Structure 1
Amino acid sequence: MTTEVQIKTYLNYINGEWVTSVSSEVEKSLNPADKSEIVGYVQKSTEVDLNLAVDAAKQTKAKWRKLSGAERGEYLYKAAQVLDKRIEEIAECATREMGKTFAETKGETARGIAILKYYAGEGMRKIGDVIPSTDSTALMFTTRVPLGVVGVITPWNFPIAIPIWKIAPALVYGNTVVVKPATETAITCAKIIECFEEAGLPKGVINMITGPGNVIGQGIAEHEDINGITFTGSNGVGKRIAQAALARGAKYQLEMGGKNPVIVAVDADLDLAVDAVIAGAFRSTGQKCTATSRVIIVNEIYEEFKQKLVEKTKEITIGNGLDNATWMGPCASENQLKNVLYYINKGLEEGAHILTGGKRLEEGVQAKGYYVEPTIFENCTPDMTIVQEEIFGPVIALLKVNSVEEALQLANNVQYGLSASIFTTNIQHFLSFVDNMEAGLIRINAESAGVELQAPFGGMKNSSSHSREQGEAAKEFFTSVKTILVK
């Protein structure tokens, strides 16, 4: 006799209570490593649910704002302790929902803990300056005040770190929050909210709503009682959010796509460069906005670099992220897999040549999931689709140039400007790269993906709205400056 396993249904979190959506409808969260496995069900919420969440945040914002920064920070520190106790459970959930390896999701959870502790400390740091007045009998100074209610819209690719690096500063600077996670990883987000709940956050300070982007996400952008929106996701959705926020005068912050280059100079350490390109391009199955997407190599070392890169790429083990032997997991969803295969076909149609990879994996256990081989193209030209558009998958294009100067021009020849790196031991090359590369994150002799939590993060051109996340820079978005003169 077999026992039927009860699959859990996760609820919205509104005003300190876990509640069902008024629609009573739910959506499946599937494991991309084995699409027959339902991780759980999440609420398919409506505008009515959103209004309830926003009202809860609005009613609580005055009390939350009146707490000292240190008091608010203490709640974040307690949440960090709870998350630390549940690190294995939450990391495993993220792997089952999103597909990347357990080592990566555990590292991401540890980063979430560190972010909470960092912003707990922010509650004790200065929020203003004394400024000399032209009137010798007056005192003039600034302080910072919270925006009010902040809408947080997060993607599926970093289901732990991104919600936390938006929620933590929003809270410590005195805002209340309504968060809408991506449906694909909404269960992971619910577990993060449980950590805040266990930390004792007052009712209404943090609220979570799951549901369609065109209803809940757009509803957050258009809601008159939401004072700021912080978003990470695609360019198309980001621009719609910006237009809606601008129309009603709300503050908004967008972190969007990337087409991130790595330049390999003649004097580069090739083994170091190869390792960094593979990690930057294929970790998380290339599903990072900072992932390496273009590799621009100076002609003299092109063949040697290519050979090393292809050989090492062929060694990558692909499988379920919960298997310790797995280096690269599946694409996060069927749609994501279809998108990657579309770009691979587009590259072939436009005349690029595949050096390795290019196929969906459908043998054995891999037939159950959304697996694709890590793929390297060569014979690419600057105007090709795979060179210009974000793929968000394990696909890179190799481009050959005659000089670092030519490489830099090619690197800038896209609409994006998120991250970029160069491998060189020539000080003039790296100084020129720092000065002239149009990207918000510049890395020398390191992979394009990754930024430390205490440093500002954000892009240029169409990669962002030109504000910055993380570190002290988060204060600029989540607060407004008030200038006071005392006569």
Structure 2
Amino acid sequence: MKQTIDELPLTKAVTDVLHQLGVKDINPAYSTGLAWGGQEGCTTKEIYSPADGNLIASVNMATAEDYEQVVKQAEEAFKVWRKMPAPKRGEIVRQIGNKLREHKEALGKLVSYEMGKILQEGLGEVQEMIDICDFAVGLSRQLHGYTMHSERPQHRMYEQYHPLGIVGVISAFNFPVAVWSWNAMLAAVCGDVVIWKPSEKTPLTAVACQHILREVLTENELPEGIFNLVIGDAEIGSLMANDTRIPLVSATGSTRMGKKVGEAVGARLGKSLLELGGNNAIIITEHADLEMALRAVVFGAVGTCGQRCTSTRRLIIHENVYEQVKERLLKIYPSLPIGHPLSNTTLVGPLIDKDAVKAFQNALEAVQQEGGNLLIGGEVLEGEQYAIGTYVTPAIVEAENHYHMVQEETFAPILYLIKYSGDVENAIELQNGVKQGLSSSIFSTNLLETEAFLSHWGSDCGIANVNIGTSGAEIGGAFGGEKDTGGGRESGSDAWRVYMRRQTNTINYGRELPLAQGIKFDIMD
């Protein structure tokens, strides 16, 4: 009988996962898909699990010379990859999706153990990778343009899309593999090659993905350089942002980081796709189904221990149901199972590291100094089970929307309760009254309220949901936000277009050369 993770000695379970995924005690600094490499004598970084503080493995950190080797290999691979028909590229992505299915359980466990999200979320993240592969396979036969009627006789006009070249992907620790796959699988079917710089906090899942990719590349006799990995710190990200050989840089992370990347890429007139901070709100009107709303609020606020860019940070509640909602939340929060993310009973895992814990504590202290009322939570858990110091109790704070800390994104499980009165437009004004504009939600059974929320004077976020929470987006829709969130769009819908260059074509199939706008310019009799 197959054992669950709870029935195995934890060290053996993790060791088995690392072995299956090809993660060594010390892992090379870069991969070009088929080969691994790195400069001798480079810096080595040890990766510890936030779940129990144990050393998982180490990685060598890439140098500028390593980065240069990878870029050169990617340039050569692009010359081959772009000439492969898009449906054939889609076939490669289909095979990658199948390999991910084979390794879903192991990779999901590694995501959970290295990052700290609970096992169900780790498995869900790998499923998201599988789903985007399926989406990209279909997309490979739909990279379409438009046809237009020309004003000139015997002329035809149309648009087409061509591969860009090298796409740089800078991913964040909280979704160590899914966001990379959103970019990499779409870029691949579009004919681009990818250089991936994972978060230096969670590089081992990236190493595992490269081993999975290698199986597909080898089986199909494809060249090195299509899917590349460079493990490094901010210096590698800076090299990527300033490199004119990389026409598009997709960066996920904090607004502060994104502004640096956007400034560097913009200075060289490159393209940037920025997925940055969120300060997401759920509006609960007096017409809400409170049972549905509470389920969404709790998952949105404490899922991934509040470390999603779409986590619910603010709860804007109508005064007529405010006390009822508050009372229910104060009953639910003490019963949330907090513990090791690989345990099947855990709903709240650890924060990524002690720096995140400190930011959590500082934010709670600051908001209380502004007048906020801490209702529950905010403790750092102690005892043998929590000795690593990364486990906290999710906090609920009564606050006002204009408080400085409420205006900022704290990447931790802090939920601010904000009361509103009057009609829904007052709630929408509060929701929009922050710098970020990623995800938003309203719970109401009143059609007038929900339609106002979705109107062009409603939510100013890139994602606006009705009767579902702020987190847990499907891959079929374009993902991204406005304002300080960066304006980028990834994943579904027509997000694929950013990975391609747009070209307008006009064909003259006649024997005359008329000019547009009726211009006469005769140089011959």
TM-score by length of 2: 0.89
Q: Give the match's secondary structure for 1:171.
A: helix
5 Å-filtered alignment, 1:60-209, equals 60-200=77-217, 201-209=222-230
- Give the superposition deviation at 1:330: 0.1
- Give the superposition deviation at 1:43: 1.9
Amino acid at match of 2:99: V
* Corresponding residue for residue 366 of structure 2: 346
- Give the superposition deviation at 1:369: 4.2
* Corresponding residue for residue 328 of structure 1: 348
| 1:296 pairs with 2:316 | yes
- Separation (CA, whole Å) in 2 of partners of 1:116 and 1:123: 10
- Give the superposition deviation at 1:223: 1.1
Whether the 8 Å contact between 2:33 and 2:210 is mirrored in structure 1 is: no
* Corresponding residue for residue 26 of structure 1: 44
Whether the 8 Å contact between 2:38 and 2:66 is mirrored in structure 1 is: no
5 Å-filtered alignment, 1:201-220, equals 201-213=222-234, 215-220=235-240
| 1:271 pairs with 2:291 | yes
- Separation (CA, whole Å) in 1 of partners of 2:227 and 2:425: 49
Deviations 1:390-414 (A, max 9, x none): 0111101101111222211111111
Deviations 1:114-138 (A, max 9, x none): 1112102211114222221112312
- Separation (CA, whole Å) in 1 of partners of 2:105 and 2:38: 27
| 1:415 pairs with 2:435 | yes
Q: Give the match's secondary structure for 2:494.
A: helix
- Separation (CA, whole Å) in 2 of partners of 1:344 and 1:23: 43
Amino acid at match of 2:149: P
* Corresponding residue for residue 237 of structure 1: 257
Amino acid at match of 2:334: K
* Corresponding residue for residue 391 of structure 1: 410
Among candidates 30, 35, 58, match of residue 17 of structure 1: 35
* Corresponding residue for residue 515 of structure 2: none
- Give the superposition deviation at 1:357: 0.4
Cα distance change, pair 97–178 in 1 and its aligned pair in 2 (3 A): same
Whether the 8 Å contact between 2:146 and 2:159 is mirrored in structure 1 is: yes
* Corresponding residue for residue 402 of structure 1: 421
- Separation (CA, whole Å) in 2 of partners of 1:62 and 1:398: 54
Amino acid at match of 1:467: G
- Give the superposition deviation at 1:28: 1.1
Amino acid at match of 1:19: G
Q: Which runs of 5+ in 2 are unaligned?
A: 1-11, 509-525
* Corresponding residue for residue 3 of structure 2: none
Whether the 8 Å contact between 1:50 and 1:209 is mirrored in structure 2 is: yes
* Corresponding residue for residue 451 of structure 2: 431
Amino acid at match of 1:30: Y
* Corresponding residue for residue 470 of structure 2: 448
Deviations 1:93-112 (A, max 9, x none): 11111001111101111111
Q: Give the match's secondary structure for 2:300.
A: helix
Moved more, 160-169 or 119-128: 119-128
* Corresponding residue for residue 474 of structure 1: 495
- Give the superposition deviation at 1:156: 0.6
Deviations 1:273-328 (A, max 9, x none): 11110001101001011110000111111111100111111110101101111111
* Corresponding residue for residue 483 of structure 2: 461
RMSD: 1.5
- Give the superposition deviation at 1:205: 0.8
* Corresponding residue for residue 517 of structure 2: none
Q: Give the match's secondary structure for 1:183.
A: coil
Amino acid at match of 1:135: R
Whether the 8 Å contact between 1:109 and 1:161 is mirrored in structure 2 is: yes
Whether the 8 Å contact between 1:16 and 1:207 is mirrored in structure 2 is: no
Whether the 8 Å contact between 2:32 and 2:226 is mirrored in structure 1 is: no
Q: Percent identical across equivalent pairs?
A: 32
Quick check: which has more Rg, 1 or 2? 2
- Give the superposition deviation at 1:450: 2.0
- Give the superposition deviation at 1:385: 2.6
Whether the 8 Å contact between 2:354 and 2:390 is mirrored in structure 1 is: yes
Deviations 1:445-484 (A, max 9, x none): 11111211011111011112x2311113222210111111
Whether the 8 Å contact between 1:153 and 1:232 is mirrored in structure 2 is: yes
- Give the superposition deviation at 1:15: 5.9
Whether the 8 Å contact between 1:155 and 1:181 is mirrored in structure 2 is: yes
TM-score by length of 1: 0.96
- Give the superposition deviation at 1:22: 4.5
Amino acid at match of 2:410: I
* Corresponding residue for residue 258 of structure 1: 278
- Give the superposition deviation at 1:386: 2.8
- Separation (CA, whole Å) in 1 of partners of 2:40 and 2:360: 36
Amino acid at match of 1:451: A
Whether the 8 Å contact between 1:42 and 1:183 is mirrored in structure 2 is: no
Whether the 8 Å contact between 2:143 and 2:190 is mirrored in structure 1 is: no
Q: Give the match's secondary structure for 1:185.
A: coil
Cα distance change, pair 269–222 in 1 and its aligned pair in 2 (3 A): same
Q: Which runs of 5+ in 1 are unaligned?
A: none
Amino acid at match of 2:380: R
